[in-house]
Amino acid sequence: MGYPSSEISPVSSLISKELFDTIFLHKDDDACPAKNFYTYDPFINASGCFPKFCRTGSLTKRKREIAAFLGQISYETSGWWPNATDGPYAWGLCYKEEISPKNDYCNSSNQEWPCFPGKSYKGRGPIQITWNFNYGPARKALGFDGLKNPEIVANSSLIAFKTALWFLMSEQKPKPSCHNVMVGRYIPTKADKEANRTVGYGLLTNIINRHECGNPNDRRFNDRIGYFQRC
């Protein structure tokens, strides 16, 4: 059973600045292009715009949700390499935008969220939001011009964290929201059951990047698990 968010402590009660900086131990190293970008206060301020984030259900569910979120953004922004100092999973939030994207991630057939000439909708921010059909809805929900000025996601820490939390909290039809999956408010469909998808971190990964799922030997999926376990 869930509880009214007004009766539950804020996200800062689950993760202090000290713990945040410990999880993302090397995010401000010179080796990280995002040095000094992903700071604690913008994260906490952004979380306040999503009153259900880590404020739904029992304390156990709330802790699991924030660990899942931090694990996923760690992977998406990782400065990963096998012999990294303190281990590869200590290098989350190292990047704020995709390096050498393969294309501009413009789906020209999507007329609802048209691309603007010369703009790239490559991965940016903690969740590496990608494609015009994500920048467009994020723009509508968060109030920034994601189609004309997608670069702002890599220039504003607050907006960067907001895009990541927006993605987590929003339903990605036909997929459920990551939030509902992590707090147990999603009932697996027939298709989920046939694909052996159960509610939890694996289904969350499927929502974010389905191409990594279905292969237990896929390094990418196992790395996501490693980041989750670290958190």
Residues 145-172 pLDDT 10s: 999 999 999 999 999 999 999 999 998 7
Using the CB atoms, write b or e for 194-230: b if 16+ within 10 Å. eeebebebbbbbbbbbeebbeeeeeeebebbebbbeb
Cβ atoms of 89 and 74 closer than 8 Å: yes
- Model pTM score: 0.88
- Over 80: is that where the pLDDT of 48 sits? yes
In percent, the amount of the chain with pLDDT more than 70 equals 91
How would residue 190 be classed by pLDDT, with cut points 50, 70 and 90? confident
Q: Please tell me whether residue 149 adopts helix, strand or coil conformation.
A: coil
Our count of domains for the chain comes to: 1
Whether residue 42 is contained in a domain is answered as yes
Instruction: Please state the rounded mean pLDDT for residues 52-72.
Output: 90
Whether residue 123 is contained in a domain is answered as no
Whether residue 89 is contained in a domain is answered as yes
DSSP letters spanning 58-77: -HHHHHHHHHHHHHHHHHHT
Cα separation values, 219 from 10, 82, 90, 97, 216, Å: 34, 11, 17, 22, 8
Whether residue 23 is contained in a domain is answered as yes
Using the CB atoms, write b or e for 43-78: b if 16+ within 10 Å. bbebbeebebbbbbbeeebbebbbbbbbbbbbbbbb
- Over 50: is that where the pLDDT of 44 sits? yes
- Measured over all CA atoms, what is the biggest interatomic distance in the chain, rounded to whole angstroms? 48
**Parent domain of 171:** 5-95+157-230
How would residue 41 be classed by pLDDT, with cut points 50, 70 and 90? very high
64 against 211, higher pLDDT: 64
What integer pLDDT is reported at residue 128 of this predicted model? 94
Whether residue 140 is contained in a domain is answered as no
Whether residue 25 is contained in a domain is answered as yes
Whether residue 22 is contained in a domain is answered as yes
Q: What angle do CA 100, 71, 52 make, to 5 degrees?
A: 110
Residue 169 token pair:
């909290």
How would residue 200 be classed by pLDDT, with cut points 50, 70 and 90? confident
Instruction: Please state the rounded mean pLDDT for residues 56-71.
Output: 90
Residue 116 token pair:
């603007």
What integer pLDDT is reported at residue 227 of this predicted model? 80
Of 41-45, 49-53, 130-134, 225-229, which range is least confident? 225-229
How would residue 86 be classed by pLDDT, with cut points 50, 70 and 90? confident
Strand partners, 97: 124
36 against 203, higher pLDDT: 36
Mean pLDDT value across the chain: 86
76 is catalytic: yes
Give the CATH number, domain containing residue 174: 1.10.530.10
Strand partners, 175: 172
**Catalytic pick among 7, 18, 76, 97:** 76
Cα separation values, 167 from 16, 90, 129, Å: 23, 23, 8
Using the CB atoms, write b or e for 147-171: b if 16+ within 10 Å. beebebbbebbbbbbbbbbbbbbbe
Cβ atoms of 134 and 167 closer than 8 Å: yes
Whether residue 144 is contained in a domain is answered as no
128 in the Ramachandran plot: left (φ > 0), alpha (ψ -120 to 50) or beta?
A: left
What integer pLDDT is reported at residue 7 of this predicted model? 55
